[in-house]
Structure 1
Amino acid sequence: MRFFTLLLCISLALLQYHLWRGKNGLADYTRLSAEVAQQEIDNDILRKRNQRMFADIADLKQGTESVEERARNELGLIKEGEMFFRILPKEKKTHD
């Protein structure tokens, strides 16, 4: 009977070890859960970025306003008949 009890205790200890520390145990589960949560956050950020890009693409395909806005902002172009004013900051006088 003592041998049987000892065998049961050893098997219980091994099962507990595999549960807590072994492959696919609770430690792996918590680590993988954290990785999955971070990946879901990253995917959500990328999903929102893609939605903005698709909205920009649709806007570029449908209207000329966005093309005009990009030409003004990125290339510095102006329409025919418009006046362009460039305001320069005051130069600081240096005493020599």
Structure 2
Amino acid sequence: MRLITIALTALLLLIQYPLWLGKGGWLRVADFEAQVNAAHKKNAELIARNAKLNSEVMDLKDGTGAVEERARYELSMIKQNEIFIQIVGKGQATPPPPLAPRPEPR
């Protein structure tokens, strides 16, 4: 009777091995699900980034508003007859002064 119990326990363990550690085991499936979730998250981030870049490209192609905004914020350019005022908080470095306005073409 004792031998039958040991044999059945051994068979039960042999049956459980592929279920947990085999090719299609639960541990591997859980790992693959985590990888799929990470890929979906990365894809969602890339889709949002592409949509933002696409809208920026459309703005640059269609109008001058986006070009003017970039010139103001990235290049610190100002229009003629405009006054540039910048408030710098404590501990912030002072950025370089804005570029001088270009004369209008005649």
TM-score when normalising by structure 1: 0.73
**What's the CA shift for 1:88?**
6.3
- Which structure is higher in helix share? 1
Unaligned runs of 5+ in 1: 1-5, 91-96
TM-score when normalising by structure 2: 0.66
Q: Deviations over 1:41-65 (max 9, x none)?
A: 1110111011001000000000000
Aligned residues: 85
- The sequence identity of aligned pairs, in percent, is 42
RMSD of aligned alpha carbons: 2.7
Partner in structure 2 of residue 70 of structure 1: 70
Greater RCO, 1 or 2 (C-alpha within 8 Å, sep 6+): 2
17 and 54 in structure 1: CA distance in 2 versus 1, 3 angstrom threshold:
same
Unaligned runs of 5+ in 2: 1-6, 91-106
Structure-1 separation of matches of 2:78 and 2:72: 6
Partner in structure 2 of residue 85 of structure 1: 85
Runs of 4+ in 1 over 4 A off after TM superposition: 86-90
Opposite residue 84 of structure 2, the aligned amino acid is: F
